[in-house]
Amino acid sequence: MGDKILIIEDEPAIADALLYALTTEGFEAHWCGLARDGMSWLKQNPVDLVVLDVGLPDESGFELCRRIRQFSAVPIMFLTARKEEVDRIVGLEIGADDYVVKPFSPREISARVRAILRRARPSAPTSDSLMEPLFAHDEERKRIRYHQQWLELTRYEYLILSALLRHPEHILSRDQLMDAAWNDPAASLDRVIDTHIKGIRTKLKKILPSNDPIVTHRGLGYSIELSRSEPAA
């Protein structure tokens, strides 16, 4: 269900353009051509935002805005045909949230409406904390973060969880998980890698004997820790 927008505008062509633009963007838009009708709709229906024309035939948009403010804090965006009216909207404290000067593009209206609704609901579920993924997989360092904390996993726990993360929303059978963890092709190369690491360490120690920047992670592999380097004596 989209946010509910009430349009109070007496010119059908403008109202049609607004209705089309807003419903295309997923809003639920309702149109009233008179201030009187808009007021009664507002009192009987839930409305998230009002788009209000300043120049209405039965009452000025300014006056209607004041009357709405007596019972509702619903966001109000004015449509105005004349630049002089902008001064009144900005200068007088009539409780408007925004205004658009005619002629306007429907796209501009949709963008403004969305911005006003965002401001009106600062705690809506668009905050950064919810944008952070639940899992973060650092494949290079073979570690997995869950809810912003690094997990301490055994080799097999890591291989199983990373296999699952590679196929989100997919069911991996017990056989498939066994393959991912136990038939890891890298596993059979462990001894070969160990030999090469030993050789590299020997060469590094010849240059700086007190330092060993290569860290062995038991059951997982190795990493190089540049921050661990000690200043040469």
221 makes contact with Ca ion (CB under 5 A): no
Show the site string, 45-74: x = touches Ca ion by CB under 5 A, - = not: --------x-x-------------------
For position 37 contacting Ca ion by CB under 5 A, the verdict is: no
**Smallest separation, CB 134 to Ca ion (Å):** 50
Minimum distance, C-beta of residue 19 to Ca ion, in the bound complex (Å): 16
DSSP state of 60: B
Least Å distance, CB 104 to Ca ion, is 13
Distance CA 210, CA 228 (A): 11
- Asked if residue 10 binds Ca ion (CB under 5 A), the reply is yes
Site residue total, Ca ion (CB under 5 A)? 3
Q: Transcribe 12-54 into DSSP letters.
A: HHHHHHHHHHHHHTT-EEEEESSHHHHHHHHHHS--SEEEEES
CB of 9 to Ca ion, least distance (A): 6
Per-residue HEC secondary structure of 186-228 comes to HHHHHHHHHHHHHHHHHHHHHHCCCCCCEEEECCCEEEECHHH
Binding site for Ca ion (CB under 5 A): 10, 53, 55
